[in-house]
Amino acid sequence: MITIALAKGRLAEQTIEILGKCGIDISVFSEKTRKLVLTDPTESFRVIFVKPADVPVYIENGIADIGVCGSDTLLEEDKKLYELLDLGFAKCRLCIAGYAGFDGAKTGAPLRVASKYENITKNYYHEKGENVQVIKLNGSVELGPVMGLSDVILDIVESGSTLRENGLAVLQEICPVSARLVANKVSLKTKSDEIKPLVAKIKNALETVNDRN
């Protein structure tokens, strides 16, 4: 049996849809339920539903064999995992955002950056050689500059509507983000007979979806 860690929400829904295209009976996984562990009728696949940032934790510790999370989460958590595939969905961008025209250099004080991504923020500014104050938030990060808690934010931008509706703009793009299929390194060896065919089927299913678009 392969255990698959999925991030609750849209990422899980899109992944389950792809699993369905791989010939897996996904009826159990698609049920509206509060259950966190679900097994397919053939008992070949078990899905666990976790918080996005916990997907790499379950995989690194070998509790899940494979899983799907955003490349932003992988960058932030920096776990020892094997990246199998860029799934190409859940696309967005990691950006620095704030009030248009904001110039941190003018304030003279260290830049205050609010973010859910503490490590990415520290690394990004460290590489630039800038001394910043990182303010860790857990959501509604756009409130940082709006309420004067921070000068700018480092966050994901998808449609850009949260920024726009709060009077903010992208100041700097950092990198693109998309959903990734990742695996536990030991599982890749011990369960390769199960994981490899599944990865091939997922690749194929993605190509079929992309050909149609």
Which of 101, 139, 148, 210 is the binder for ligand PRP (CB under 6 A)? 139
* Segment interacting with ligand PRP, rule: CB under 6 A, options 42-50, 79-87, 134-142, 182-190: 134-142
**141 lines the binding site for ligand PRP (CB under 6 A):** yes
CA distances from residue 172 to 11, 63, 78, 92, 157 in whole angstroms, order as listed? 26, 37, 23, 14, 11
Query: Which of 61, 107, 140, 208 touches ligand PRP (CB under 6 A)?
Result: 140
Show the binding pattern over residues 152-171: x = contacts ligand PRP (CB under 6 A), - = does not.
---xxxxxxxx---------
Of 12-20, 22-30, 151-159, 174-182, the segment contacting ligand PRP by CB under 6 A is 151-159
Is 89:205 a contact under the CB 8 Å cutoff?
no
Our CB check for ligand PRP shows the closer of 25 and 158 to be 158
Smallest separation, CB 206 to ligand PRP (Å) = 23
Rounded distance between C-alpha atoms, residue 72 and residue 105, angstroms? 27
x/- map, 81-120, ligand PRP, by CB under 6 A = ----------------------------------------
Q: Taking the complex as a whole, how short is the minimal distance between the CB of residue 160 and ligand PRP, in angstroms?
A: 5
Considering the complex, state which of residue 57 and residue 146 has its C-beta at the smaller distance from ligand PRP.
146
- Give least dist CB 170 to ligand PRP, A: 10
Burial grade of 20 (CB within 10 A; 0-12, 13-18, 19 or more): middle
The least distance separating ligand PRP from the CB of residue 90, rounded to whole angstroms, comes to 11
Q: Which residues bind ligand PRP (CB under 6 A)?
A: 139-142, 155-162
